[in-house]
Structure 1
Amino acid sequence: MSRYLSRFGRGLRFAVLGAGNGGQALAGYLAWRGFPVRLYNRSAARLEAIRERGGVKLEGRFEGFGRFEAVTSDLGEALRGARVALVVIPASGHRALARAMAPHLAPGQVVVLNPGRTGGALEFYQVFREQEVHPGVTVAEAQTFIFASRVVGPGRVRVFEIKHRVPVAAIPAGRTRTVVRLMRRGLSEFVPAAHVLETSLANIGAIFHPAPTLMNAARIETGAGFDHYHEGISPAVARVLEAMDAERLAVARALGTRVVSAREWLQAAYGVVGSDLYTAIASCSAYSGISAPDEVNNRYLSEDVPASLVPIAALGQLVGVATPAINAIVELASLATGVDFFAAGRTLERMGVAGMTVDGLWQYVLRGEKIFAASGKEAYSGSGAW
C-alpha cells in the first residue's frame, strides 16, 4: 500500500459517508480534532442546516464545533482525495453504496464500515471485485460503532459516550495494520482484530435487537412505551436470546474463530455479572432508559435481520451448523414485515463465499484468494490486479 501514499500527500483527509446520528458525530469529532473532513449524504435535504453552518456543533462528551471541508450529496466530490472513507449508514444500504462508490475510488484509499455488522466487509469486497475496483483499494470493518450519539437539532449532535476499544479488520487480513495505523491518527480507540470473521461474528446486536422487538410486537403496536432491555427482555425472551447466542458461538467455533458470549460481552463492556443472560441484562445500569422502538418495522429488523442474522445462518450452512433459533426469528421477522429476509439479506453469494470450503474461506479472508470446493482457484495476489 505504501506506493500509493504519495497521491494523497502527507495529510490525512476523511470522507464520512452518511449524515445520520453516527455520521454527524464522527465527522464532527474528526473535524473538531483538526482533520480535513468531507461529509456526504445521499439526500441533500439532510445537509442543508449543516451546510449553512459549515459544520456541526458537538455537545455532551465533547464540546466544540467541527468545521467541514465540504458538505455534499456528490459522492465523487466526497471521495476525491480522501485517504479514508468512513461508511456510517445502515448496513441494509451497504451493497448499493459499494456499487455507487466503485467508479470514484483510487488505489491507496481505505474504506472502513462503521460497523460492518456481519459480513459487511465481505459484501463490500465482493461488490468491488464485481465492479473491477482497483485492488489497491482496501476494505475494512469495525466490530462496533465508536460513539453513542444522537442528532439533537439542526447542525447539533450530542455524543453520550465513546467506546474504549473498537476492533477493526481488513480483507485481506494483512492490510489490517495499515488500516489501524491510519485510523489511530484520528481515533486512538481502534485496535486490530485478527480477521473479518472475528469482527463479523462478534456482532452482539444480532442477539439483543431483533428477537425482543418481535416478542414485544403487541406492546409496540399498541403504543405502550417501555424499556427495550429492562422491560422487553423477560426471562422467557432471554432464553430465546441464549439459544440464538449459542448458535452464533457454534458457527464461530466451526470456523475456528473465538468470539465471546453475550454474557461475557456484558461483563467486559459494563462489568455486570449474572447467573444467566436475563440476570446480567437486568443488572446492567447502562441499559436503563433505553426505549423500545415505536414501530415494529424498525432498524432492529430492517438492518439487524438481513445484515446480521441472515449471514450468521448462511455461514452456519457453509460449516454444517444448524441455526434453528436464528432461522425462526428471521422467518418471524419476514412474516411481520412482509419482507423475505432470507432472499434479501447477506447470503453466501452476496458475501462472495458460496461454494467455498472452510479452508477456502480462510484463504479468502487472510489472503484475498478465492478457492472453491470443485471449480478450481480464482486468485487475487493482493498487490496488483484481481
Structure 2
Amino acid sequence: MFKINITNLNDSKVCIIGAGNGGLAAAADLTLRRHEVILAELPEFEENISEIKERGGIHLETLERTGLKGGFAKLYKVTTNISEAISEAKIVLIITPSFAHKKIAEECAEFLKEEHTIVLAPGNLGGSIEFYNSLIDNGGNMNVNISEMECMMFACRKKDNSTIYIRGYKHNLGFSTFPSISTDREFERVKEIYPNIVKRQNVIETGFSNINPILHVPILISNLSIIDNKKNVLMYHEALTKSIEKITEHLDKERMSLNNFGEDIQLKPMSDIYKSWYYHQGARGSSFVELAGENPIYYESELPNTLNHRYLLEDIPYGLIPMISMLDKFEIQSKNIRSIVNTASLISEIDFYKKARTLKTLKLHKKSKEQIINYIKYRN
C-alpha cells in the first residue's frame, strides 16, 4: 500500500479530485496560472480522464470578461491512483457533485492527514460535516480540517472530453472550515491559489450562501411546457421572469430568517451575494431579472430540456432539503421552500427526501441549536 510521507507534501502542487466540468476548469486555470496540478479521478470513472491523459492536458477557452487566460494547460499529472495524487500536494480540491462526497471521503480516508488543506468546491449545506463523518467512519484522521466554498468557482461546461469553456469566474466567494476555529489557517493557504475568496464565519453560512438551489429549482418547475416540448430557451435571459423572481424572493426570506438566531449566523441577501460574485463581469441592478437576466455571461446558457438534471437532482436533496432540516432545528418556518420541494417531487415523481442530506444523516439531529453552533466551531 502506498504510504504518504508528510515531508514530501509540496506547497506548490494542487491535487484536484473530480474530472467533471468544475474539475477540468480548475485544473486548466491553475495550471495556466503556473501551479503544478495533479488531476485525479476514481478508477471507475477513468474514461473521464483518458483523453486528457493521452493529450497531456486540457484546452481552456474563456469568456474575456472572466479575466482568465485561455490556452493549452499541460498538467503535471493525471491519474486514478488517489493515494499517489494526494501524496504530493498540500492542497486537495474536491470538485464533485454532492452525492459523491461520502464515496470520495471513503476512498481518501487512509491518505488525508491533518497537514493537508482539504476543500470541497462546493460543500453545499453540510458537505464538510458529511465528508468528515465519512472519513472517521472509514478510519481517517480525526484531526483533519475540512473546508468548503459556498459555490463552485466557475460557470463552465465541457466542449469535449479535453476542452473546457469558462464563462464565469466568481469573485468574493465565501469560504469556511469545519471546525471554524481553523478557518483562518486554511483560508490563508487557499487564498494563495484563489486570491478573491472571502471568509464566512462557519459552514452554516457557506451552506446557506449557495444561492443556486433558491434560483435553479423555481426556474425549472415554472417552465414545464418549455422543458416538455424541448424548446430552446435561454435560462436566465428568457426563462427567468419577474413572476418567478417573486418565488425566489419568498424562499430567500425564509433562508435569511436564520439571521434572527444571533451574531453566529449572518447571511447576506441572495442578490447581494450574486452581485459580489459577478459584478466584475457585468452584473448590475437590484433584481435577479436584472442581475442574471441581463448578465452577458449567460448569453448562451440554455434551460435544460429535461427534469433529470442536477438543478433538481442535486439542488433539492443537497440544497433545499438540508435548509429545511436546519431551519426546523432553529424553529424557523420554511413553508415556501417545502412547497417548492413538494411540487418538484410531484412533477418529477421523485421522493427527494428519501436520500437527502439532513441533520439526521449529518448526526446532528440530537443536538440543540446551541450545541450545533458550538460543534461547527470547535468540533466537540
Compute the TM-score of the two structures, normalised by the length of structure 1.
0.87
Q: What's the CA shift for 1:104?
A: 2.8
Distance 1:264 1:37, change over 3 A: closer
Quick one: percent identity of the two aligned structures?
25
Aligned residues of 1:108 and 1:136 also touching (Cα < 8 A): no
Q: Residue type matched to 1:149 in 2?
A: C
Secondary structure of 1:51's aligned partner: helix
CA distance in 1, matches of 2:173, 2:337: 26
Aligned residues of 1:251 and 1:315 also touching (Cα < 8 A): no
Q: Which residue of 2 aligns with 1:352?
A: 363
Distance 1:97 1:334, change over 3 A: farther
Q: Residue type matched to 2:106 in 1?
A: R
Q: Residue type matched to 1:272 in 2?
A: R
Q: What's the CA shift for 1:158?
A: 2.4
Q: Which residue of 1 aligns with 2:15?
A: 15
CA distance in 2, matches of 1:159, 1:62: 10
Among candidates 305, 313, 319, match of residue 324 of structure 2: 313
Deviations 1:102-140 (A, max 9, x none): 233233122201111222112212222333411232200
CA distance in 2, matches of 1:302, 1:100: 23
Among candidates 265, 268, 272, match of residue 264 of structure 1: 272
Q: Which residue of 1 aligns with 2:140?
A: 133
Deviates more, 1:104-113 or 1:352-361: 104-113
Q: Residue type matched to 2:336 in 1?
A: A
Q: Does 1:326 align with 2:376?
A: no
Deviations 1:70-97 (A, max 9, x none): 2122322322232121111111222222
CA distance in 2, matches of 1:329, 1:360: 29
Distance 1:368 1:167, change over 3 A: same
Aligned residues of 1:251 and 1:312 also touching (Cα < 8 A): no
Q: Which residue of 2 aligns with 1:273?
A: 285
Q: What's the CA shift for 1:58?
A: 2.3
CA distance in 1, matches of 2:223, 2:98: 24
Q: Which residue of 2 aligns with 1:175?
A: 182
CA distance in 2, matches of 1:49, 1:204: 33
Deviates more, 1:335-344 or 1:174-183: 335-344
Secondary structure of 1:122's aligned partner: helix
Distance 1:58 1:126, change over 3 A: same
Distance 1:147 1:44, change over 3 A: same
Q: Which residue of 1 aligns with 2:35?
A: 35
Distance 1:304 1:65, change over 3 A: same
CA distance in 2, matches of 1:118, 1:107: 23
Among candidates 171, 189, 196, match of residue 164 of structure 1: 171
Deviations 1:168-213 (A, max 9, x none): 1111112112222221222222332221111111111121101111
Distance 1:150 1:253, change over 3 A: same
Secondary structure of 2:51's aligned partner: helix
Aligned residues of 1:83 and 1:109 also touching (Cα < 8 A): yes
CA distance in 2, matches of 1:279, 1:33: 32
Q: Which residue of 2 aligns with 1:377?
A: none
Secondary structure of 1:341's aligned partner: coil
RMSD: 2.3
Aligned residues of 2:90 and 2:116 also touching (Cα < 8 A): yes
CA distance in 2, matches of 1:360, 1:197: 13
Q: Which residue of 1 aligns with 2:48?
A: 46
Q: Does 1:111 align with 2:122?
A: no
Aligned residues of 2:5 and 2:87 also touching (Cα < 8 A): no
Deviations 1:201-248 (A, max 9, x none): 111112110111112122101111212123222333222111111111
Q: What's the CA shift for 1:254?
A: 3.0
Q: What's the CA shift for 1:277?
A: 4.9
Q: Which residue of 1 aligns with 2:65?
A: none
Q: Residue type matched to 2:313 in 1?
A: S
Distance 1:218 1:359, change over 3 A: same
Secondary structure of 2:110's aligned partner: helix
Compute the TM-score of the two structures, normalised by the length of structure 2.
0.89
Distance 1:282 1:52, change over 3 A: closer
Distance 1:266 1:114, change over 3 A: closer
Q: What's the CA shift for 1:358?
A: 1.6
Q: Residue type matched to 1:127 in 2?
A: S
Aligned residues of 1:8 and 1:83 also touching (Cα < 8 A): no
Q: What's the CA shift for 1:53?
A: 1.3
Q: Residue type matched to 1:228 in 2?
A: M
Deviates more, 1:109-118 or 1:55-64: 55-64
Q: Residue type matched to 1:336 in 2?
A: I
Deviations 1:315-339 (A, max 9, x none): 0111111111111121222233333
CA distance in 2, matches of 1:242, 1:311: 19
Q: Residue type matched to 1:39 in 2?
A: L
Aligned residues of 2:9 and 2:88 also touching (Cα < 8 A): no
Q: What's the CA shift for 1:30?
A: 1.9
Structure 1: where are the runs of 5+ without partners? 370-386
Aligned residues of 1:122 and 1:352 also touching (Cα < 8 A): no
Q: What's the CA shift for 1:266?
A: 4.2
Q: Residue type matched to 2:251 in 1?
A: M
Q: Which residue of 2 aligns with 1:291?
A: 302
Q: Does 1:365 align with 2:376?
A: yes
Aligned residues of 1:92 and 1:302 also touching (Cα < 8 A): no
Aligned residues of 2:9 and 2:87 also touching (Cα < 8 A): no
CA distance in 2, matches of 1:105, 1:286: 37
Q: Which residue of 2 aligns with 1:26?
A: 26
Distance 1:21 1:13, change over 3 A: same
Q: What's the CA shift for 1:252?
A: 4.1
